[in-house]
Amino acid sequence: MKTANQDIKPISRKINEQGNIEIGGCDLVDLANEYGTPLYVFDEATIRSITNSYKDAFKEYQNMRMMFASKAFMTKAICKIMEQEGFGLDLCSGGEIYTAHSAGFDMSKTMFNGNNKTYEELSMAIEYGIGTISVDNFFELALLNSIAESNNKNIRILLRITPGIECHTHEYIQTGHLDSKFGFDLTQIDEAIELIKEEYKNLELIGLHAHIGSQIFEKQVYFDEVSVLFKEMRRIKDTHGIELTEVNLGGGLGIKYTQNDKPISVYEIAQTIIDAIKLNTKKYELKEPFVFIEPGRSIVGTAGVTIYTAGSSKQVPDGRRYQAVDGGMSDNARPSLYQAEYTVEVANKPNETETEKITIAGKHCESGDILAKDITLPIIEEGDVICFYNTGAYGYSMSSNYNRVLKAAAVLVNNGKSDIIINRQTYEQLCESDVIPDRLN
């Protein structure tokens, strides 16, 4: 069964009577006029469609919770949607913890993950009652136990491991192979468990956590991951007499940025994971554990688009034609970082037949600030509204104030209604943290 991550465009996208692109019943040109650009636009129907696909696909295995990987796109409004859909939250920083808590999210349904959690972040996690902490390294084990002890708390933990599985994806987003900054190597697990048993009395080890990468198009890697984790759980039971009851398989399901991308469906990975759990539970004579899945990109990626207003253009003699927009690497760093490719349309003339090959350039003082290279679009004029699809994940999350450009606004659209979920930054807000020392006055 096809799921939303296999489409390039939000499920509500259509061309309206005015000949403009419409998402969530809202004309993108009207949104540009009302809220300004650059503007992130999120289709609520697409978000809820994919969350429901996850729940339906995994319904055969009831002992499970979906945890939205908040790093993909974290706002209070998204927290509310995830809460309504029955998802937990995978959190990676103090800022994400604070956002979830301030949104009124049930913190017992959250997990704190990351490779260099600070004293302040771990203290905040404990204070706010976070459900589980995935411990990444020996330094963190000692630090977390010290904080827990001083607060007279017992903390449920998972050990994050590197399972030694490589995905056919971009090198920078492979996190499950052995040469990784994340997690314990399998050869370090015994030492970590002995420390927990003998010294770290305020830590309760309940399971293992692994994450094998991002933008994954393969089923087999999920099967292999489950096999590695369950084999290790059996070994831990035999060696240490501890029967682990929880396992976090991470996320990583890919989405369709361009026609060349061929992501698998939620149902395909669900069946693979369920089959692997059943087979390995029987093989290693284990009780079926409580399983966590951490989808992020596949939840919000396809749901989000970014719209820009076309500005200046340049024709290089006997070379490229550049079309500049009013945003760029400050609102979407992925093309510069990963050479990421996107599908692009002109929102106010999607059906124009006269086309040209152009390169969409950002407005920043970097030659590498290119959003899309050598693509074919209708002939663009100043003031046209340009739409980039599949920017819902890691667009706003990785945004910056480079060149002191203001951060863009975000709206949630549904049934013809649009609501601000992130206000556009103001120049006053941009400068509010600046300080001029007295000696400079």
Query: Half-sphere exposure (CA, 13 Å, Cβ side) for 375?
Result: 20
- Alpha carbons 122 and 118: distance in angstroms, whole number: 6
- Composition of the chain by helix, strand, coil, percent to 5: 35, 25, 40
DSSP-assigned letters across all residues of 280-343:
HHHHTT-PPPEEEE---HHHHTTTEEEEEEEEEEEE-TTS-EEEEES--TTT--HHHHH-----
Amino acid in the structure at residue 425 = Q
Instruction: Name the one residue in this structure whose structure tokens are 């990583």.
Output: 252
DSSP secondary structure letter of residue 440 = G
Tokens at 387, concatenated: 């739409």
Integer CA distances (angstroms), 106 to 14, 44, 95, 99, 135, in order: 36, 21, 16, 12, 21
Question: In angstroms, rounded to a whole number, what is the distance separating the alpha carbons of residues 348 and 18?
Answer: 9
Q: How many CA atoms lie within 13 A of 284 on its CB side?
A: 24
Residue 365 known to be catalytic = yes
| CA neighbor of 294 nearest in space, from 126, 87, 94 | 87
Point out the catalytic residue in the list 92, 167, 365, 387: 365
Query: What does the alpha-carbon distance between residue 59 and residue 35 come to, in Å, rounded to a whole number?
Result: 40
Please tell me whether residue 234 adopts helix, strand or coil conformation.
Answer: helix
**Region for residue 405 given its phi and psi (left: phi exceeds 0; alpha: psi -120 to 50; beta: otherwise):** beta
Evaluate whether 325 touches 388 at the Cβ level (below 8 Å). Answer: no
Residue 199 corresponds to which amino acid?
Answer: E
CB–CB of 163/230 below 8 Å? no
Phi and psi based region of residue 61 (left: phi greater than 0; alpha: psi -120 to 50; beta: remaining): beta
What are the residue numbers of the active site? 365
